[in-house]
Amino acid sequence: MNEKVAMVKTAGNDAVPLRDAVQRALDLLDSPLKGVGPGNCVVIKPNITADSISWRQGIVTNPNLVHAIIELVAERNPREILIAEGIAVGQDVKKAYSFLGYDKIAGATGARLVDLYDEAFVDIPITGSNLHSTMQIAKTIMEADFLINVPVMKTHVAVGISVCMKNLMGTISAEQKKKFHFFGVAESVVDLNLVVRPHLSIADGTVAGEGDGPMANDPVGFQTILVGTDNRLVDTICARVMGFEPSEIEILKICNDRWGALPAADIEVVGEATSQTVRPFKHAAECVKPPQGVECTEGGACAACTGAIELALARARQMDILEQLKPLRIVCGPDSSPPGTGENVLVVGKCLSHLKETGNFVPGCPPQVFLIADELREMAGIDRIFGCKDGYNF
Ligand code: SF4
């Protein structure tokens, strides 16, 4: 195989230094953009997980990096350049495009913004999967002449890290996302990567995210991009520089189990040396069983809900309020029954909004960690930090 990954430090977070950094990385890889020609449709897939969180938080892709990539792609005279995202369920990508300034970038460059949920999805057969026979993938993605994957580097509570392979979850339908959560995200993401094969992946570590990802990371001014043409390989190097053994990352472990570990001779990192770049990232809170005195009913809940509850419980423990809330009963997931009433009943997630009168209710789909933690604070008689929850009824 012998694929290369280019690792390049950036001199700033604006489009000009980032354009220089991407160009240096592409030069180290023998210019993969030469695969773009006149008449081509080039699709850029950033990671826009949330609609109202600054890219400076290390949770969504830096829009200035996408701007820099568009300028370099435009030199190849493609027919059109699209920025396309199918955001997390419950968020609004049009709002995100405006909040993050992608609309201004589109206006300045002529690129077109696409909400993949407005477009058609096609059923693509999957061979070699134990879970899926087909997957609903956006037609725009499948028909791209050249697909560029631009994930942010961040830690993630359910899968360890979320970079190139995981970012492709934004190419599938909302219904398919729910199936991923039902069948298991890590294995489903590996299957998805069998059929969506970006021509180029540029991992955004300008501002990366550590800790409670995917939605509550702390920013890391990492000032690095990692570029390659093989998602698994770029993720393997990202894992290493983030201080993980690749075998600790569930998605990469599944790849190793299916196809064997990548031989060291097949991994060539050009540019910065991995050993000089390693910066251990704080892990997302480990998936923990509810502590004694806390009972959690997960009636078919998505991992996004259960992960958010686990993180919020970890925060409640840090705040020393968990003991006083016991016995605490938490209910989530569409199949949960009414939990009865009581001061220490917490009902979580939009799919249980019909039960909101039965206990302390947290809206959202998926619900935000900070809102669940705020609800626990209020139940413990402490003021909320983030204000009223009513605006989160998505
Ligand atoms: S509220 Fe939670 S369990 Fe319900 S659909 Fe949304 S993420 Fe899934």
Q: Find how far residue 173's CA is from the centre of its chain.
A: 15
Owning domain of residue 347: 294-392
Does residue 287 surpass a pLDDT of 50? no
CB of 159 within 6 A of ligand 1: the answer is no
* pLDDT mean over 340-357: 86
* pLDDT mean over 183-205: 95
CB of 331 within 6 A of ligand 1: the answer is no
Sign of CA dihedral 140, 143, 146, 147: positive
The count of structural domains within the chain is 2
Is 245 in the same domain as 127? yes
> What whole-number distance in Å separates Cα of residue 159 and Cα of residue 164?
13
Atom number, ligand 1, closest to the C-alpha of residue 90: 6
Token reading at 127: 């061979």
Is 32 in the same domain as 169? yes
Is 51 in the same domain as 187? yes
Minimum mean pLDDT among 24-38, 71-85, 107-121, 209-223: which range?
209-223
Is 358 in the same domain as 312? yes
Strands 152-156 and 200-212 turn out to be parallel
Maximum Cα–Cα distance across the chain: 65
Is 306 in the same domain as 265? no
Q: With cut-offs at 50, 70 and 90, classify the pLDDT of residue 88.
A: confident
Q: What is the average pLDDT value for the chain, to the nearest integer?
A: 91
Is 374 in the same domain as 261? no
Q: With cut-offs at 50, 70 and 90, classify the pLDDT of residue 298.
A: confident
Sign of CA dihedral 338, 339, 341, 347: negative
Encode burial over 41-65: b for 16+ CB neighbours within 10 A, e otherwise: bbbbbbbbbbbebebebbbbbbbbb
Q: With cut-offs at 50, 70 and 90, classify the pLDDT of residue 288.
A: very low
* pLDDT mean over 386-392: 71
> What whole-number distance in Å separates Cα of residue 79 and Cα of residue 51?
29
| Cis before 339? omega within 30 | no
Ligand 1 mutation target, pool 87, 176, 302, 346, most atoms within 8 A of CB: 302
Let me know the angle formed at the C-alpha of 28 by 24 and 29, rounded to the nearest 5 degrees: 120
Does residue 394 surpass a pLDDT of 90? no
* pLDDT mean over 16-43: 97
* pLDDT mean over 61-82: 98
Is 81 in the same domain as 192? yes
> What whole-number distance in Å separates Cα of residue 169 and Cα of residue 191?
11
Let me know the angle formed at the C-alpha of 46 by 42 and 51, rounded to the nearest 5 degrees: 130
Is 319 in the same domain as 380? yes
CB of 355 within 6 A of ligand 1: the answer is no
Could you tell me what percent of the chain has a pLDDT over 70? 95
- Cα torsion 189, 194, 199, 205 to 10°: value is 20
Q: Is residue 282 part of a domain?
A: no
Which residue among 277, 312, 328 closes a domain?
Answer: 277
Distance 336 CA to ligand 1 centre (A): 11
CA distances from 334 to 157, 239, 302 (A): 21, 34, 9
Query: Any idea what the CATH number is for the domain that residue 207 is in?
Result: 3.40.50.11440
pLDDT in tens, 101-127: 999 999 999 999 999 999 999 999 999
Is 273 in the same domain as 298? no
Is 246 in the same domain as 314? no
> What whole-number distance in Å separates Cα of residue 10 and Cα of residue 208?
13
Q: Is residue 283 part of a domain?
A: no
Is 305 in the same domain as 262? no
Is 194 in the same domain as 236? yes
Which residue among 277, 312, 327 closes a domain?
Answer: 277
> What whole-number distance in Å separates Cα of residue 246 and Cα of residue 260?
13
